[in-house]
Structure 1
Amino acid sequence: MRILKATLLVCLCFFTYIQVQAHALWIETATYGKLGTAHDVKVFYGEFALNERDAPEKWYSDVKDFTLWLVAPDGKKSQLKTIPGQAYYSSSFTPENEGVYTLMVSHEAAELGGTTKYHFVSSAYVSIGKSSKVDAGLNENGLKLYADNHEIFAKNKPVKLFAYLNGKPLANKPVNVASPEGWSKEVMTDENGMLSFLPLWPGRYVAEAQNFEKVTGNHNGKDFDAAWVGSTFSFEVK
């Protein structure tokens, strides 16, 4: 009986690990906005490449309790109110200045996946006016993906992104890129944390970088021996 219980516990932990690893948190919002006009934002959790968007009550652990932050071009940071929907949380903001606005989420799940601590991160950008230059320093997420210039990219033309971890390039690591057609591919970063790929279809894409470390600690009263962080960045292709 003890052996059976132990086996079931191991299987449950493994299932939880696989389930969490397969899912991600991401932000969807239009690339461009207008001064003085409310701009909509949606936050999803699920599997983008499979077109799976989980209902908030099915999100892992307490991930639904995330905080959505907005950073204006001048560096002013504010928390946005989020409202649960059938398959996402919605929010909005009204831009008061021209420039590129940064949207951020960074949430450590309360529960461990087995003995692993999970940290869900996401970023998105909105261009207001003619400016499209991204100030990556305004994004406080430890692991982040971004493009130097925020714009709607064109299919069959290279898209160049950068991945950074704690202020340093995420060098020689795979980044998963998924398209609205169900296509996904791992693209390696170079020594500068840069990756490039050719989008073949129009629509919204989601790129995800991950980092896994064997570290020990205590999280909400439970010991862990590994820490995982996954960071997403969504963008549009025309």
Structure 2
Amino acid sequence: MTITSIARLSALATALISGSLLSGTAGAHQIWLEQNGQAASIYFGEFGDNLREASPGLLDKFTLKNVSWIAAGAKKPLQASKTAGAFVLNGKVAPGETIIAEENSYPGWESKKDGKVLFSIWTPAARIVADHSAQAPALTLDLLPTGTPGQFKVTYQGKPLAKAKVGAVVQSGWMREAYSDEQGLVSFPLPWQGGYVLEVHHEDKTGGERDGKKYDHASYVTTLSLVQPQGVAPLPAPAPVAPSKDHG
């Protein structure tokens, strides 16, 4: 395990002992989509570290009721069935199609700053595509292929998001980071054959309301999963990291 991985897990454990995932720590985890020949599945953990949370455990904090398949302007809801290690969907993507998922019910938490109690929420989301076909924004914080291989677009509430840090990682742990430009565009080399997960974070301190409860701070993390058919043969994935223990 890398030093970064150990630091992330240590931070996660500290947050769990306090009863909830905190904003900065939650950002170390992500949800992402993978697909086999039969169906797509949603995982929670850290793709680049081969960490997949389980049930019973942190996976049980999710409901994943907002999952959809989109193609050629058509949109239909998908069901997410929880297993011991993932949520399995009753659908998959083909070229030109996409599946999106957004968790809008993850438990919020209170914290104190300068003697004031603040309520925060965390919204993880994920998208998977089968090719580089251009897609339209559909998630609150979205990360989209533009139609040009290696180029992607970041949007927030449907509008381009500039200066957003985006990371691209493969299962072996290889990673690159870049920032979006004024049009929300960001580009990466995709040298490896196989699966990539791209990730973007955004913090919104304007406040709002969710499920009838006001919040002061919102944190978002969204991933985009894709498979590169050509390239250098991938390096082996690291040994799986044991799922975290849920103290909350």
Give the TM interval when normalised to the shorter protein.
0.7 to 0.9
How many residues are treated as equivalent by the alignment? 207
User: What is the rounded CA distance, in whole Å, between the counterparts of 2:152 and 2:92 in structure 1?
Assistant: 27
User: CA shift at 1:94, angstroms?
Assistant: 7.3
- Give yes or no for the alignment of 1:102 onto 2:102: no
Instruction: Please identify, of 170-179 and 57-66, the stretch whose mean Cα deviation from structure 2 is larger.
Output: 57-66
Paired residue type of 1:22: A
Aligned-pair CA distance for 1:223: 4.5
Which one of the candidate residues 98, 107, 125 is aligned to 1:111? 107
C-alpha distance in structure 1 between counterparts of 2:108 and 2:225, whole Å: 26
Determine which of 159, 163, 167 is the counterpart of 2:154: 163
* Partners of 1:16 and 1:189 in 2: CA distance: 25
Distance 2:154 2:48 in 1: 20
2:63/2:103 contact within 8 Å kept: no
TM score, norm. by length of structure 1: 0.74
Aligned 8 A contact 2:23 2:219 in 1: no
- 1:179 alignment partner in structure 2: 170
Aligned to 1:142: 140
Would you say the 8 A contact 1:61–1:110 is kept in 2? Answer: no
TM-score normalised by the chain length of structure 2: 0.71
Larger Rg: 1
Cα shift at 1:231: 1.1
Deviations 1:125-165 (A, max 9, x none): 236xxxx632x23x421221122238xx6xxxxx2211111
Aligned position for 1:156: none
Q: Structure 2 regions of 5+ residues with no counterpart?
A: 1-13, 111-118, 231-248
8 Å Cα contact 1:109/1:120 also seen in 2: no
Contact 1:61 1:109 in 2 (8 A): no
Counterpart residue identity of residue 56, structure 2: E
Residue in 2 aligned with 1:26?
32
User: Is contact 2:65-2:79 (8 Å) kept?
Assistant: no
Give the distance between the partners of 1:104 and 1:65, measured in 2 at CA: 11
In 2, are the aligned partners of 1:80 and 1:93 still within 8 Å (CA)? yes
Distance in structure 2 (CA, Å) of the matches to 1:165 and 1:218: 17
Partner of 2:244: none
Q: 2:30, 2:83 → 1: CA distance?
A: 18
RMSD: 3.0
Does residue 203 of structure 2 align to residue 203 of structure 1? no
Deviation at 1:219, TM superposition (A): 4.0
Provide the residue aligned with 1:50 in structure 2. 49
Instruction: Kindly indicate whether residue 220 of structure 2 is the aligned counterpart of residue 229 of structure 1.
Output: yes
Q: 1:192 to 1:211 in 2, by over 3 A?
A: same
Deviation at 1:79, TM superposition (A): 1.5
C-alpha distance in 1 between matches for 2:204 and 2:192: 34
8 Å Cα contact 1:66/1:107 also seen in 2: yes
Cα separation, 1, equivalents of 2:199 and 2:69: 20
> For 1:71-120, what per-residue CA distance to the aligned partner results, in whole angstroms no more than 9, with x for missing partners?
232x222122222223111124378xx86112111222341143311111
